[in-house]
Structure 1
């Protein structure tokens, strides 16, 4: 990924952490984002696009056909409180959304638009719509092949459907290898995108509102990290029920704060919305002067969409596996709402605010965006990138909003971290066994990476975060290709019973 504009170099303890971590993660990042021979197109982006397209076609565009029923399920219309599981459909959706609706929507979109131009938004929306089918597939399998224990707890996710599902299909050995690889990458992903990136951008926004480079926090990310690590540890010690109780309150709150502010700006600039969409569509196919043109916009759009909504990654299947239901397909329906809410709605709103507020420098004569070769992104008035660019955009219309955004960013980061701690924990216990000692070791390591992420500079953090999460997708999607027929069978069975009236709404 290209460098970030005017990034403040870490100093002192932060600089030491940055140098060591960057050297360790570099080779892994290079492999995941290696381009296809003779092109600048990363092979991993094509992998995700092809997977989402195949699932969309194979299941007959299920993301559009089942949208209404998915909303009914979230409302609890078909929920039986006596079903096995730990959380409700809504809590499972909120937990999974808290792992996806986060700084990818605030900072990630700014990165995509800053490097790929407004056109990246078009590809982001397309990736979100197709990704709904990927999410549907993996979350159905997550519930179907979960482990249910005598004490009422459950463990599920790709680790389990790759072993049990692949064995059912006659590919047990391949499934076990894929499950181990997925677990390793999931642990790395929980430390990277689900942790380090969140802590990093939360710290950046706190520095932003406390004086920038003159702030007492500047160069002292480890201080922010320690405070966040302590708070995170207090919550994650309680397990999935504790996490679900926190996320079902935080997610709606932060969504109202952030989406509400975006709506205020968009309503106040309603006359410019058609122009902004014009920039998005034109930029999607021409690049509007940015380096890389169409390819640059497409790559950034798909990369950031995948990082934001995690469709095909397999992470959300872990949270959805804990749902109370005896019908695995119902959680597949519920989960397909995630990429829509996360990418199609919230990411698009962020991109529109950035484009409409004019924080990206545009040549008044040609209409092309001014490319800053030194920073590797579109030029901005003050060299902002990531969460700082989004903050600048909101601040042009609502002067005090950067302070409100700081609260939203910390809440987004916090909720994402506690959800990803659960994902990583389930992968950890799959590899090393269930038990209190094993769980505490993982949780302490997770909190250590909160501190490391807050102390590092954005470039290495976002590269490692992307690489770890996309590596999960490589393994997961291989398994999904093998297991698609099982999901198809579940879909046809449920649809027939719903049509015949055998499946009915519950009176609560």
Structure 2
């Protein structure tokens, strides 16, 4: 049996075993109810409702404190002696690297082809609502993070659910929180290995081999796949050995670079067709409320937009607080404000740029989809760019590779925190996880294991059920943290106005306020 046949047989055997399980779990997690002429996944509604509730609870904080969030990222309110491992900007880029990726390239195209251009409007709205949810969960992540003797910190739903519920509801809350924490860790670990690792490697290898490998080239062979996997595994392993500090150093450079590169490419296409921009915006807006010819009409466009946005920015899933918890700060709400920028960057900016590019440069794609002649997601995006930039498939390959690499790094950190919560934090435990993680990178270039990836998606979104229940119960504590940070900001501004910047004076002023 050849190596190709062996890997294919392993792939088929695993998929055949897990496919029934993935199907059953998926039907539960992504249970749908009929709405008009289409179906609404309740898990998507659960995430959107959370965004609405928290937006109201905190008085549209994503609008009122948007500028303050940028000031915090710029280091304007940094404090000496704050516990943590990375600064606000590094924490933001580390978290964004886990969400910005293939969903922004292919996912938007899927939304436009199924729900029409109007789906973009609903994606933006969902992203704006998700900003409030992200603020709440990240504030809790920092508030209840665990500090270790070696100076590292751990955070996420596995920490704030048991600690926060215990603080509010005593021993009963502690027991419930412990159960939820273990379940959250298992789900994060499972998704990390298969969705955040294996799938990312698989898709990046598929893109690079199809672009540069040819049918009979070295990259298209099993040997090429193994070599690709080993190179990526080595790079990932080296970065992971340095912990979140090392990951943050890479992502703080990689994420702005790749996002900037992609946005510039979008702008080139948009500006080349600048006269079509007003019509494109009108098409998107009208399509949001008059989605004729789209499956499910207006409701269908709304559901598709919400669904793609929720899948893209991960607001409410409890994953991002793991990265944000490593920030250097004495005020948890400061990082919560930073985190609300994440859905804005991911969904409102990058996804919107992709959608505009598609609507302007490749109108035939979604027109064909309306007529029932659907076109593949990433193909729509690539074709749109190719109308102005013939060399774009090569750039797209680089972007996919960088997006995938940064996602593997960030989910490697998420997985490590889930692993150490379940199996203990020791050098041996961490080394075992990093070895397993690197091995999955190599497997990703050889296997697809589609059913396992589908199952891991179900696990990730099931996490949102437990996580958001905890967010509702702990929201009053977030309000106190927000008030505390805003007092600190007012005190620093007052001291700056009279020429004082002494940290001790500022802290005393906060106490007085």
The normalised TM-score by structure 1 is 0.88
Measured in 2, the distance between the counterparts of 1:358 and 1:11 equals 39
Measured in 1, the distance between the counterparts of 2:74 and 2:449 equals 39
Measured in 2, the distance between the counterparts of 1:361 and 1:408 equals 22
Q: Deviations over 1:375-420 (max 9, x none)?
A: xxx3x3xxxx233432222122101121122112111110111011
Q: Deviations over 1:171-191 (max 9, x none)?
A: 111111111111111112212
Q: Deviations over 1:72-120 (max 9, x none)?
A: 1111111124211100011111111111122221122223223333222
Q: Deviations over 1:231-254 (max 9, x none)?
A: 222211221111111111111111
Quote the residue 1:6 is aligned against.
none
Measured in 2, the distance between the counterparts of 1:183 and 1:151 equals 22
Measured in 2, the distance between the counterparts of 1:113 and 1:140 equals 34
Q: Structure 1 residues 339, 156: closer, same or farther in 2, change over 3 A?
A: same
Quote the residue 1:228 is aligned against.
232
Aligned mate of 1:269, from 269, 273, 285: 273
Aligned mate of 2:293, from 289, 293, 300: 289
Measured in 2, the distance between the counterparts of 1:463 and 1:282 equals 34
Quote the residue 1:79 is aligned against.
78
Measured in 2, the distance between the counterparts of 1:78 and 1:214 equals 56
1:300-319 equivalent positions in 2, closer than 5 A: 300-319=304-323
1:61-76 equivalent positions in 2, closer than 5 A: 61-76=60-75
Measured in 2, the distance between the counterparts of 1:164 and 1:507 equals 33
1:178-327 equivalent positions in 2, closer than 5 A: 178-210=180-212, 217-218=219-220, 220=222, 222-223=225-226, 224-327=228-331
Shift of 1:489: 1.2
Identify the structure with the greater helix proportion. 2
Quote the residue 2:362 is aligned against.
358
Residues 312 and 477, structure 1, Cα contact 8 Å, conserved in 2: yes
The normalised TM-score by structure 2 is 0.88
Quote the residue 1:408 is aligned against.
399
Shift of 1:218: 4.7
Structure 2 stretches lacking a partner, 5+ long: 504-513
Quote the residue 2:28 is aligned against.
31
Residues 113 and 369, structure 2, Cα contact 8 Å, conserved in 1: no
1:21 aligns with 2:33: no
Residues 138 and 314, structure 1, Cα contact 8 Å, conserved in 2: yes
- Secondary structure (helix, strand or coil) at the match of 1:20 reads helix
Q: Structure 1 residues 386, 452: closer, same or farther in 2, change over 3 A?
A: farther
Quote the residue 1:4 is aligned against.
none
1:167 aligns with 2:166: yes
Q: Which has the larger radius of gyration?
A: 2
Q: Deviations over 1:8-51 (max 9, x none)?
A: xx976246415523641333323221213787211111110111
Measured in 2, the distance between the counterparts of 1:249 and 1:122 equals 30
Residues 18 and 457, structure 1, Cα contact 8 Å, conserved in 2: no
Shift of 1:163: 0.9
Quote the residue 1:7 is aligned against.
none
Measured in 1, the distance between the counterparts of 2:290 and 2:448 equals 32
Shift of 1:279: 2.6
- Secondary structure (helix, strand or coil) at the match of 1:323 reads coil
Shift of 1:290: 3.0
Aligned mate of 1:476, from 439, 442, 467: 467
Quote the residue 1:337 is aligned against.
341
- Secondary structure (helix, strand or coil) at the match of 1:41 reads strand
Aligned mate of 1:419, from 405, 410, 426: 410
1:496 aligns with 2:483: no
Paired residue total = 486
More moved, 111-120 vs 176-185: 111-120
Shift of 1:357: 1.6
Residues 202 and 446, structure 2, Cα contact 8 Å, conserved in 1: yes
Structure 1 stretches lacking a partner, 5+ long: 1-9, 373-377
1:122 aligns with 2:121: yes
Quote the residue 2:434 is aligned against.
443
Shift of 1:463: 3.6
Measured in 1, the distance between the counterparts of 2:358 and 2:110 equals 11
More moved, 31-40 vs 96-105: 31-40
Measured in 2, the distance between the counterparts of 1:293 and 1:19 equals 40
Aligned mate of 1:387, from 378, 394, 399: 378
Q: Deviations over 1:200-255 (max 9, x none)?
A: 33123213312665665458595344432232222112211111111111111112
Coordinate RMSD, CA, aligned:
2.6
